Amino acid sequence: MNSEKRCVTCSAVLHGPYCCQCGEKVVNPEDYTVRRFLRELGAQIFNIDGRMLKSFRLLLSKPGFLTRAYLDGQRKPWLKPIQIFLISNIIYFFSQPLTHVSSFNTSLNSHLNRQVYSPIIQKVIKPESRDNFSAYEKRFNALTKNFARSFIFMLIPLCAIMLYWADAGRKRYFFPYLVFSTHFLAFYLLVAFSLLMVAITSIRPVLNEFSTISKFLYSEQGITVIFWGIFYAYMYAALQRVFGESRRRAATKAVALYFLLTFILYQIYRFLLFWLVYIRLLW
């Protein structure tokens, strides 16, 4: 009779407390105690918390460091790129009601009148041809708000495509651009659209005493300047650290990418979001 103990997961012969093939732990009677459960729960919580704090500290203080480390195979000490993006996305949507800034939630009126692609939308949706356009608009805007929370993930591949296209002359894999885009968008969501806007909104009563400064900060031009500064600072450092760009090339590319990503990327994102909501309302 064969007395060899085998792994319950992969059936490999066991030679110790862990399976040498799949890493499954051999269950012992003490593994069923409440003490062991609480110990493992605490270890997992503090491990995730520690990795999260380190990950976001590096994301904010060393642009491109996490991307370079991930591409080099250093992945255990920090959260995965998509985890960082997801947390930043959650923070963004929780902070949005405090800032009243909705860059990724485009209203039907904006689709019809304020975008580059508006002439196309006007041929699809004609307010005068709908019996109850006001009700349709409310349904459209409400659904857009819900869809934007998940559709924002589409920015990652779109941004990666833009970055890859900007480096068309260099033979590189597409994967590094996906990782770079994930970290960059996580940073931008967290800093530009969440922390910064909450800070500006919070100190608005104080700034109102200085009308000139207040008007500038809350104007479209002021917000653009601030966002541009944040974008440029991250891109300039990250391009050097991740792709080994020279200072001059990083500076030039950061400027070009700002216009490429800010205008073209947003237009594509909003255009796709419109069709997603429009088709959903046809059901």
Domain ranges of the chain: 1-32, 46-282
For 143-172, what is each residue's pLDDT tens digit?
Answer: 988 888 778 888 899 889 888 888 876 778
Tens digit of each residue's pLDDT (9 = 90 or more) over 248-283:
999 998 888 888 877 777 788 889 999 999 998 887
The pLDDT, as a whole number, for residue 32 is: 78
Q: Between 121 and 214, whose confidence is greater?
A: 121
- Cα–Cα distances in Å, from 260 out to 191, 265, 269, 274? 20, 7, 13, 21
pLDDT at 1 (0 to 100): 46
Contacts of residue 16, Cβ cutoff 8 Å, sequence gap at least 6: 26
* Cβ(147)–Cβ(277) below 8 Å: yes
Q: What is the 3-state secondary structure (H, E, C) of 76-100?
A: CCCCCHHHHHHHHHHHHHHHHHHHC
* Helix (H) or strand (E) segment spanning residue 217: helix 211-217
pLDDT on residue 5: 82
**pLDDT for 24:** 83
Q: Give Cα separations from 134 to 86, 269, 270 (angstroms).
A: 34, 24, 21
- The whole-number pLDDT of residue 206 equals 60
CA 272 and chain centroid, separation: 17
Q: Whole-angstrom Cα distance, residue 160 to residue 146?
A: 24
- The encoded tokens of residue 85 equal 């993006």
Q: Which residues contact 270 (CB under 8 A, 6 or more apart)?
A: 106, 110, 111, 115, 117
State percent of the chain over pLDDT 70: 80
Residue in 179, 220, 212 with CA at minimum distance from that of residue 69: 179
Lookup: tokens for 101: 């800034």
Q: Is 169 exposed, middle or buried (0-12, 13-18, 19+ CB in 10 A)?
A: exposed
Q: Which two tokens stand for residue 232?
A: 């440029």
Q: What is the pLDDT of residue 149?
A: 75
Q: Mean pLDDT across the stretch 128-155?
A: 82
Q: Where are the alpha helices (DSSP H) in 152-210?
A: 155-166, 175-190, 196-202, 204-207
pLDDT (tens digit per residue) in 4-52: 788 888 888 888 888 888 888 888 887 778 887 777 776 665 555 678 8
Taking only the tens place, the pLDDT of each residue in 205-238 is 665 555 666 666 665 566 667 778 888 888 999 9
The mean per-residue pLDDT over the stretch 97-120 comes to 79
What tokens were used for 165? 């296209």
